[in-house]
Amino acid sequence: MGDNKKVAVMITDLFEDAEYSKPAKALKDAGHELIHIGIKKGATVKGKRNKQEVRIDKAISNVSIDDFDALLIPGGYSPDKLRIHGEAVNFVKNFVKKEKPVFFICHGGQLLISADVLKGRKVTGWKSIKQDLINAGAEYIDKEVVEDDNLISSRQPQDISSFNKAIVKKLD
């Protein structure tokens, strides 16, 4: 193992800047390639702090889970905006079903809730979605990082260094 992996980053406007930029840097520094997927190829999406801009490499309608080794879902408002798009929800659902690594932080779990893939899984997330995660069948654990097989989740920006260590290790 230890070879370069292709990581899909599912992202749209109003993502939490640090929850994208820091994991993205950690993955790139470890030699992995990031492919930003969103609603419209070529669009530029902005973080909610207006510091970070990300260009969408591929439209969600034109990608296959087979093209990627892992999926990163940054938090902020981005996951909530993405989950109204059936293609985004199905991509996440199929990614989890194929047991490929899925990394999500803060509100990223909202996409997994909509994909209905959390029954019996151990996860964490931002405290405002705790009840939603539980209602979706997950066991909510209030820790910096929760690993459950192919799912790695974190609660908030303060947890990012632990999150980054876990996701980089998972791809080694």
Whole-angstrom Cα distance, residue 168 to residue 109? 19
Residue 32 falls in the annotated catalytic set: no
Q: Catalytic: which of 32, 36, 85, 107? A: 107
| Torsion angles phi and psi, residue 123, rounded to 5 | -145, 170
Q: CB within 8 A of 121, min separation 6: which ones?
A: 137, 138, 139, 148, 151
3-state helix, strand, coil in the chain (%, to 5): 40, 25, 35
- Is the separation of the CB atoms in 150 and 101 below 8 Å? yes
Residue 85 falls in the annotated catalytic set: no
- Is the separation of the CB atoms in 133 and 125 below 8 Å? yes
Q: What are the residue numbers of the active site?
A: 106-107
